Structure 1
Amino acid sequence: VQFHAQLDPALPEWVMTDTKRLKEVLCHLLENAFKFTPSGQVHLSIRQDGRHMLFEVQDTGVGIPEAQQAFIFNRFEHADLQTHTRFGGTGLGLAICKGLVQLFEGDIGLQSQPGQGSRFWFRIPLHACEAPDTPLLRQPPAVASTRFSLLLVDDNPVNLKVAGLMCQQLWPDATLHSVNSGQACLQWLQTQAVDLVLMDLVMPEMDGLETTRAIRQSAAPLCHMAVIGLTASSHPQDHAACVQAGMNDVLLKPLDREQLHRSVQAQLLRRGVTHG
């Protein structure tokens, strides 16, 4: 699946918004697009629409029958048994999106044709603002001279891209690798050496917990690998499960740059990764 993103150059450089809620809506829509697009394209566009920002996620996936479109934002269950059987699972992702967009005093909708794909969009008020002057609001500094290697493990290509871009900005001298499953992670680590692994928890077949346990049961030095878990769940039991599996730290998704910076830097310092 190919992913394309387009940002309207007419948008102001800085806007005032709730970034956490905005990321959550975008993540839900993009995850659904990739989940129901076995091949083809997913396209994200962000543009100015009068006094609003318009976000559009368009895919070439299975599409949604017209009869299901009227209530799909009320509770998202897969449109029919065939789709459910093929892709599995149910969720409330689109209902959550609708609720979050309403908190922005915005609106959300879709157009879809079965077999041709879907276009989900939402629109929220545009509040342009000046660049923040407070140092705490600026991006954390990059550890420019720290040389280390990092493996990203996530079955979602959007998450891989976002995490990869963050790491490149924070540590431009780092060597980044990525795989899309727990099994691929274990196979990769059998022949390659890295200093740290960023591990998603929810993956098909072999999840992040099982993969981390397998790493801890491996022979040295692999068993001592630094593993940082990535999860969308803030439940204490889920975080405890990560620690029990052998993860060194757990970060909440959507990723926050400052938290990622602190966590990775702490693991590097513990392992004596030096500036060079």
Structure 2
Amino acid sequence: MTSGMDWRGRVGDVWAAEWRRTDRSLADLSRHLDAAIASVAPETGHALDIGSGGGATSLALRAARPGLCVTGVDLSAELVAVARGRAGEVAGDRLHFRCGDALTVSADEGPFDLMCSRHGVMFFPDPVAALTSLRGAARDGARLVFSCFAERVANGFATLADAAIGVAPPEEQGYLPGPFAFADMNRVSDWLTKSRWQPDSAARVSFDYVVGEGRDPLEDALSFLSKIGPAARALAQAAPPERERLLNALGTRLAEYRVGDRITLPATAWIWQATA
């Protein structure tokens, strides 16, 4: 489980430090998501990027729709600082990044004509309440577009870590915020409907999740996965001899996915579209 407090603290700090590699890992997915967002984005009005992280989705939307005002919001002050730094001179009247709860910011700054998110919706403690709150901050007819991971077994970064560390994946225990909280298509459709959003489509997208590249992609991948993802917690908690064993096991499995100067794992996500 990953909570809001995690994003305000340790997790957010790590993602801010690793924004280049996290953007790289999701770049193949982002091209699909950015295209889906642009396909329904109005030329003018106000858009909200939920869990905007290092700013990649907000910046892509700003480039695609220069006349649209874009507000990115994230719980992590460090990630917001990264986003603002990346925006540079582009930031201004039509691009803002806010540090705070997306539900609070949306209520304060709405109504919105578009809401979007790259993997930022899976961490609400109560998804129906959160989606209902977002619906209340959206104009009638506004569009919602977001991505979320599909089931754990369809995402190599998780299954590879499970196998290398030698642990069984967590059992289903009802809803828990986290990377795979929105994996069940039927459950998400029900949440949207209960929240007064009309589900329009759910596109299942397979993509390349790049974990390592360069002169030593294996070292790069081990460094990345020791900070981001399911293996990171186990490695952080392991005593030095056990950590070395886990890294060797992880490295052996990662080497199987090396092609040239890259290590890429198979991954799958949903891209949802809904209408207020």
Q: How does the TM-score come out when normalised to structure 2? A: 0.34
Q: Which structure ranks higher in relative contact order (CA pairs < 8 Å, sequence separation ≥ 6)? A: 2
Larger Rg, first or second structure (1 or 2): 1
* TM-score under structure 1 length normalisation: 0.34
Q: Higher helix share goes to which structure?
A: 2
